[in-house]
Amino acid sequence: MYKISKVLVKDLIHINILEKQLKLNTTKLDFFNQTLLNQNFEFIKLVLENQIIGFLYFSWNKSDCDIISIGIVEAFQKMGFGKKLIEYLINLNFKNIYVEVSANNKNAIIFYQKLNFSRIGIRNKYYKKSNSDAILLRLLK
């Protein structure tokens, strides 16, 4: 049985390994510590048999929420765990949930669309490193 709970400082090393495996930006310890003091950020993990197999990191302002990052260990992808993390977020009852994804990340775009997110905008050439557009999606109610 899996469990979703808050990421603790001691978890960060495992999250960083996962972020690297998934080629995501790594969360620095200083930044993580700051988010612990800021009530507008939340970093949650999904644990299966004592192993962190996923995380979701989001921020919010009043009734709106922005997904900053999500990742699931490759061997556990397409098994419904990413969906469990998004469902956790949906159950917090924000008015709007937004996410911005690189246009190159087709898998993530399909994932969000499957979960009822809809494309609402584009930022041309937003990601300088990859010279790719950012696609802005919002959860439809």
Binding-site ranges for ligand COA (CB under 6 A): 22, 24, 69-72, 77-83, 101, 105, 107-108, 110-111, 114
Number of H helices, E strands in the chain: 4, 7
Which residue, 12 or 115, is less far from ligand COA as judged by CB? Answer: 115
Beta carbon nearer to ligand COA, 103 or 108: 108
CB contact at 8 A, 25 and 59: no
In the complex, minimum distance from the CB of residue 19 to ligand COA, in angstroms, rounded to a whole number: 9
Closest-approach residue to ligand COA (CB): 82
- In angstroms, how far is the first alpha carbon of the chain from the final one? 28
β-bridge pairing 96-102 and 64-72:
parallel
